[in-house]
Structure 1
Amino acid sequence: MGVMDQPVCCYRHPDRETGIRCTRCERPICPACMVSASVGFQCPDCVARADRTSHQVSQPRTVTGRRVGAGDPFLVTKLLIAVNVAVWLVELAVGGGGSGKVAADYGLYAVCLHDQFGHHLCGGAADGQWYRVITSAFLHERTNPLHIGFNMMTLWWIGAPLEQRLGRLHYVALYFVSALGASAAVLLLAPDALTIGASGAIFGLFGATAVYMRRAQYDMRPILILLGLNILFSFTWSGVSWQAHVGGLVAGTLVAIGMLYAPRERRSLVQWGSTAAVLVASLALIGAAVAQVTP
């Protein structure tokens, strides 16, 4: 008498006999575990493993190598615009003589001065008010809607696509380090001038855009022409802080070079190390500028 064959049971349900096997791993599967495939059936484990592999392979990345975050790709730019507009509305509401109370309290200067309206302002970065190096980048002329209007239009036009390509974290770092670079240049070259506006940080975005286009081997002429016109405007238009524009441009360009030209090996270390180097250099220049005007 021959020996009867042992029944084949589902690997997930040992009490259920089956004649079907997974086309990937060939393990026996019952009707409850079968997942239809292009050819035959697959077990739940193989399907889950394939889904994880597919997700990892297709995960989009930014030009700096980071995974693309979920949600709105322009979220940070929109938030920056919203904050700038909200602060400008506060400036309108608070009012005040001369440049306005908010500008006097949070605008950038190093020593006591008279603003363009002849009002005396005291305090400044040299008096320990270090917050001015950042808060000044969110202030605009309350009596000149064109100031904030032009800056916010440029921030959206230049910043939004750059945020999408760099990723949120790198974009935030680029923006704020550029703002600090702009403040450093102002305190070094014009410590007795009240300076406000987001244009210093925006010039950093201009520099980063030029670096990105060079790295991607795009036609550089459009961005170079636009940048050249803005620099010309900075030096020829009365009341514009060319110091902030140049400082922001230099800082943003250096940060972008570190981010976009970092080698694959230790990419993150090079990117954040170079960003930190520009940040430290900006803070050191701010300290040196304040020291030279402090009695």
Structure 2
Amino acid sequence: MDAESPESTVTTCYRHPKVESHVRCTRCDRYICPDCMREAAVGHQCVECVREGARSVRQARTAFGGRITAVPMVTYVLIGLNVLAYLAELARPSVVDRFDMLGTVPAGYLPEGVAHGEWYRLLTGAFLHLPPTEGTFGILHIVMNMVSLWNLGRVVEAQLGRVRFTALYLLSALGGSVLVLLIAPETPTLGASGAIFGLGAAYYVMARRLGAGMNAVNRFMAGLLLWLVISAWATSWQGHLGGLLTGAAVTLAYAYVPRGPRRALIQATVCVAMLALLVILTITKATELTGGAG
């Protein structure tokens, strides 16, 4: 009896049913066409399996839990914001008086400052710098701060990752402003120095945590403390000290919280607790300055 050879079944790509295909995905065993093939360690995989595999791959992180990134994007953005604020000062000098850090004004003047509801000054003052009308130091103020932010920010952001670095910077800026409010509420202050001192403290804490060569780190810290002493008569030492203490406290949490699935949650909780403390101190001092009114 003559045996008829069965007609071969035509197989098509599962994503493109009109395209004939004879290759299977090594992961899901479905037929895939050349457009859907992705090179794998063995054979080929389909687009969906490659995407699913990428999601399951654990992303590399630093010793502090931050995602490893090649570009210090937050540092670039912060420098850009400071420069834009300085250009706004050049275009309209009244910006300084409107947005610098000021707790309150002496009795007899129109009420203004953080104690009178202008809470935004706690943060906006950290993005302003002395205008050119202050002479050479007016230009040096922003130049020195931006050079320091460039040098410190790239290193600290690379270790902490973008989210933790942003939280550290903003909390350090707020910490500096709050200490100004507590100690010298009638003194107008401005500048990114408080936040930069926070980055300096973070650099020191991280270096100790990583066991880096401490001779150079100690020299850096000595220079930072010397800058703090000099600022006692040159600029706002309260803002510098507040940023230093806040940055150190936040980074200690980043550095010494044990690794594990809840590390990010604990670090975030510490940041929220620090923010809450700064808010409570601000409310308490504002109430004191206004005599409990309004």
Instruction: Check whether TM > 0.5.
Output: yes
Q: Secondary structure at the match of 2:97?
A: helix
CA distance in 1, matches of 2:33, 2:251: 56
Q: Secondary structure at the match of 2:197?
A: helix
Aligned-residue offset at 1:49: 3.8
Cα pair 1:11 1:27 within 8 Å, conserved: no
Cα pair 2:23 2:33 within 8 Å, conserved: no
Distance 1:89 1:219, change over 3 A: same
Given the alignment, which residue of 157, 181, 185 partners 1:163?
157
Q: Which residue of 2 aligns with 1:209?
A: 203
Aligned-residue offset at 1:24: 5.3
Letter in 2 for 1:201: A
**Alignment of structure 1 residues 104-123 onto 2, 5 Å:** 104-113=97-106, 123=112
Letter in 2 for 1:79: V
**Alignment of structure 1 residues 106-145 onto 2, 5 Å:** 106-113=99-106, 123-142=112-131, 143=134, 144-145=138-139
> What is the aligned-residue identity percentage?
33
- The one-character-per-residue Cα deviations of 1:37-68 (angstroms, maximum 9, x if unpaired) are 799855x34x8646754675473334433444
Moved more, 121-130 or 270-279: 121-130
Q: Which residue of 2 aligns with 1:80?
A: 78
- The one-character-per-residue Cα deviations of 1:144-198 (angstroms, maximum 9, x if unpaired) are 1001110000001001221222121111111111111111111111112111110
| Count of residues in Structure 1 that have an aligned counterpart in Structure 2 | 280
CA distance in 2, matches of 1:91, 1:138: 11
Q: Which residue of 2 aligns with 1:242?
A: 237
Cα pair 1:108 1:132 within 8 Å, conserved: yes
Q: Which residue of 2 aligns with 1:117?
A: none
Moved more, 54-63 or 78-87: 54-63
Letter in 1 for 2:226: L
CA distance in 2, matches of 1:192, 1:17: 79
Q: Which residue of 1 aligns with 2:65?
A: 65
Aligned-residue offset at 1:139: 1.0
The runs of 5 or more residues in structure 1 that have no matched partner are 96-100, 115-119
Cα pair 2:26 2:42 within 8 Å, conserved: no
Letter in 1 for 2:122: V
Letter in 2 for 1:83: L
Aligned-residue offset at 1:228: 2.4
Q: Which residue of 2 aligns with 1:154?
A: 148
TM-score normalised over the length of structure 2 = 0.79
CA distance in 2, matches of 1:251, 1:292: 23
Cα pair 2:66 2:159 within 8 Å, conserved: no
Query: CA RMSD of the aligned region, Å?
Result: 3.6
CA distance in 2, matches of 1:288, 1:88: 32
TM-score normalised over the length of structure 1 = 0.78
Letter in 1 for 2:89: E
